[in-house]
A and B are shown apart, each in its own frame.
Chain A
Amino acid sequence: MASSKTIDRRSFIKLSSLTGGGILIGFNLFTACKSDAKPPEDLANLNFKDFNAFIKIAENGKVTIISPNPEIGQGVKTSMPMIIAEELDVAWDDVFVEQGPLDTENFTRQVAGGSQSIRFGWDSLRETGATARQMLVNAAAAKWGVDPSECSVSEGVVINAAGDQLGYGELVTDAAQLEVPEGVTLKDPDDYKIIGTSRVNVDIDEIITGKPLFGLDYKADGMVYACAVRPPAFGQTLESYDDTEARKVNGVIDVVAYGEGNKVAVIAENTWAAIKGKKALKTTWSDDSELESSELHDQELGKILEGDDFEVRREDGDVEKAFKEADQVVERVYSSPFLPHNCMEPMNFFGHVTDEKVTLVGPIQTPAGTQAGVAELLGRPKEEITIDMTRMGGGFGRRLYGDFALEVAEIADKIRKPVKLVYTREDDMTAGIYRMAIKYKIAAAIKDGKITGYHLKEAAVNSNMYGLIPHFFPAGAIDNYKVETANYKSKITTGAWRAPYTNFLAFAEQSFFDELFEIMGVDPIQTRLDLLEKVKGTTDENIEYSPERLQGVIKLAVEKSGWGKQPEGVYQGFVAYYCHNTHVAEVADVVMENGNPVVKKVTCAVDCGIVINPTGAENQIVGGVIDGIGHAMYGDFSFDKGKPRDSNYATYRLIRMQETPKVEAHFVQNKLSPTGLGEPGLPPAGGAIANAIKKATGMRLTKQPFILQLAERENKVIG
């Protein structure tokens, strides 16, 4: 290769004229959304296949933003085009957002990253819109014979100093002939007309009229349905099966074993026949090793906390000395169970395998990784495998894993028919990749009325906290500080669950502080502000939370919740937390009704930088808070001899309307780059209600789900 100089990001925008009139601007959203993505080395390799998102400007001035981005309910299908439309400077009413068409070679697929899409896409999306705008301005300036700097733009119309006007639609043909400009100017946030204004979900009409949008709605000609039997307990293998009765079920076409002979799929003409066939299947399972129960996990995690086999994840000062010299030591243990994701749309995927190609369609957050997995599983080159994404009925981390897509690929390879693999709710809940059970032991050393030491130990099933979590608050605020982790290896599959680790860690840490401040007899708000004061000006690169911004949300939450001014009978709990690059403080209001604590209201203060779409932002925070309360309060998932005790909503409890408090979200107004909102509202919620429940009942909650611990109250009133 002659030269391989790294090309400028500008080259990631490409323009071409459309045969039907108008222009098409291609750019790579994948690059836009990944901080570490590198441009291809060679310019010659750049063609339209390198783009996965497009802006189409028609001769009538209408703008279509085509995005291949999947939507899991986090709102990016609305908010990301809003950023482009802002810089392009068009009226939002003239913008149409289209999901990238399925089955086209022009789209390279991408990951729907947790709470990171907006943060990483911010610069590139703005640059893309601004570049397109500049090209249209340049085209207008050339027509008028004036300098582009003499032109301005408003809502899709270019205006020159003399007051002449040209609409984008009139300029697209000329613009398509021009060079892509470099170094375009971005708007000042004060001039935003779309960003910061509420825009309704772009799929709203399809959702409220029941149009096919989701994976489970996808159909193909000649498609059959599959339901599978998987090992009922983690650690079991299939010894034998008898499909005589299953094959007698009306509509059942075939029965095939797969998954290294451990799973059996019933193939049928419709879903109901597949479900019935599955029930009629007789299977014998063997246990090749000890089957784990939750009681065992509890013991093992407890043993880990008592031992000293830990990996140090952060250490400041001399923790041992601080504890030895302390006037008082406070130590508490917090426990959480496993949790299933329970996406409202159960796992499902479509597959069709022929000699020529492998076609997979469905709700998945990680198509690239899944493609690689399918290539390996079927021994087929990646080029033969297409994976297309549908809208997803929830993700919460579960759809980061491609296990169900691999399953359908294998089944489709065996039967060579287009097939949809459907999980029943029971399959979905029992063949999960769960939030792992975790225990934390937190200890603080107090000397002369000050916190001189902080020591946190994490004992988790399978894996431990990752990334910068060990460096979150109170790292930097306490001189002698240590975080250590260890894990117990289990056969139960575990993985990411909305706000991994922090979804429980925030509760443990913030309940601990609440109790610690109470024991010390200090004000919980002022003490937090003081601790943060110490972090200001830190040069520690690992500390990414901002003490100023955390103080900011604390003050805003105090103000908006009427902290300390609540009427008699209302008990408030406070939490301030940073995760997923967003700072959040929450105040929960609890009252006693019939002798039981009831959460009435939660007030949130959020600093996520610039808010792109206020209605979407509020939806994410409010939903995250209620989700956090629901799982902290009721989420109880356990195993008996390797088998989940619950498999459907008759016994497994999710939060419902009547248990739901009113949630208010207040956003800090600033001009800082936006950060994500899909996760950060959730972690603080459990601690906020636990701290309020303590005031209301006198009981310190240390175990999730709270309802089990609350049931132990001596003078509890059953109501």
Chain B
Amino acid sequence: MPTYTLNVNGNALSVEADSDTPVLWVLRDHANLVGTKFGCGIGQCGACTIHLDGAATRSCLLTVDQVKDARITTIEGLSEHGDHPVQQAWKEVDVPQCGYCQAGQIMTASAFLSENPNPSEEEIRSAMHGNICRCAAYNRIEKAVKLAAGKSK
């Protein structure tokens, strides 16, 4: 099995894995970073969203050998003390129900806001459209993204 050295949350992570292993499973099983969630495995739900060089990326479709030296950020590394403006907004709005989809939502929202710090309602709704929340906390997700946009200014 080949060995890969990944840059995860600013640390060098050395893993032995088959080249076709999705980053999702490398993070969860090999690196013990279980904040990134498995929802569908086919890029349709967004639960597994991470940042790859700052861009929101579905880690279930990204294989370990595609990463090379790109920077991976997971929910565990989004901020040091859980105080990224998006995380703060999520807490203030009390977004989660079961909470399972929320890491993915937060990763999508944070990447989106760094690209578009001043989004319209329509832009928020379209940016978050790829992330399913089965508990349907969508109203609050939308509200929290709006609030986070205000906070990041």
- How many residues on A have C-beta within 8 angstroms of the other chain's C-beta atoms? 67
CB distance A272 to B22 under 8 Å?
yes
* Least CB distance, A391 to chain B, in whole angstroms: 7
A selection of 11 A-B contacts at a CB cut-off of 8 Å is A72-B98, A204-B90, A208-B91, A209-B35, A214-B37, A344-B100, A391-B98, A393-B98, A394-B100, A623-B97, A627-B136
> Measured between alpha carbons, how far is A630 from B34 in the docked complex, in Å?
29
CB distance A345 to B98 under 8 Å?
yes
- Does B41 belong to the interface (CB within 8 Å)? yes
* Least CB distance, B141 to chain A, in whole angstroms: 7
CB distance B90 to A208 under 8 Å?
yes
Which of A207, A212, A275 sits near B96, CB closer than 8 Å? A207
CB distance B100 to A219 under 8 Å?
no
CB distance B99 to A393 under 8 Å?
yes
Contact A343 B134, CB 8 Å, known A425-B41, A658-B125:
yes
* Least CB distance, B150 to chain A, in whole angstroms: 18
Question: A21-29, A646-654, A691-699: which one contacts chain B?
Answer: A646-654
> Measured between alpha carbons, how far is A343 from B133 in the docked complex, in Å?
10
Residue-wise, chain B 1-42 has the 8 Å CB interface mask toward A (1 for contact) of: 100000000000000011001100100111011111111111
> Measured between alpha carbons, how far is A353 from B137 in the docked complex, in Å?
38
CB distance A391 to B99 under 8 Å?
yes
* Least CB distance, A398 to chain B, in whole angstroms: 11
Within 8 A of A (CB), among B36-92: 36-42, 44-45, 47, 74-76, 78, 82, 87, 90-91
Given contacts A216-B37, A270-B30, A649-B45, 20 further A-B contacts (CB under 8 A): A71-B98, A201-B94, A207-B99, A208-B82, A210-B36, A210-B74, A212-B34, A270-B29, A344-B39, A344-B98, A391-B99, A424-B41, A622-B136, A626-B136, A648-B42, A649-B44, A649-B132, A650-B42, A657-B142, A660-B136
CB distance B103 to A210 under 8 Å?
yes
- Does B120 belong to the interface (CB within 8 Å)? no
> Measured between alpha carbons, how far is A660 from B134 in the docked complex, in Å?
12
Contact A344 B132, CB 8 Å, known A210-B33, A649-B42:
yes
CB distance A657 to B45 under 8 Å?
no
Which of B17, B21, B34, B138 sits near A660, CB closer than 8 Å? B138
- How many residues on B have C-beta within 8 angstroms of the other chain's C-beta atoms? 58
> Measured between alpha carbons, how far is A425 from B47 in the docked complex, in Å?
12
> Measured between alpha carbons, how far is A200 from B90 in the docked complex, in Å?
10
* Least CB distance, A295 to chain B, in whole angstroms: 27
- Does B128 belong to the interface (CB within 8 Å)? yes
> Measured between alpha carbons, how far is A658 from B127 in the docked complex, in Å?
9
- Does A597 belong to the interface (CB within 8 Å)? no
Chain B positions within 8 Å of A655 at CB level: 136, 138
CB distance A219 to B32 under 8 Å?
yes
The residue in A210, A225, A270, A620 that gathers the most chain B C-beta atoms within 10 A of its C-beta is A210
* Least CB distance, B16 to chain A, in whole angstroms: 10
- Does A593 belong to the interface (CB within 8 Å)? no
CB distance A649 to B91 under 8 Å?
no
The residue in A200, A204, A205, A615 that gathers the most chain B C-beta atoms within 10 A of its C-beta is A204
> Measured between alpha carbons, how far is A622 from B140 in the docked complex, in Å?
9
- Does A342 belong to the interface (CB within 8 Å)? yes
Chain A positions within 8 Å of B140 at CB level: 619, 622
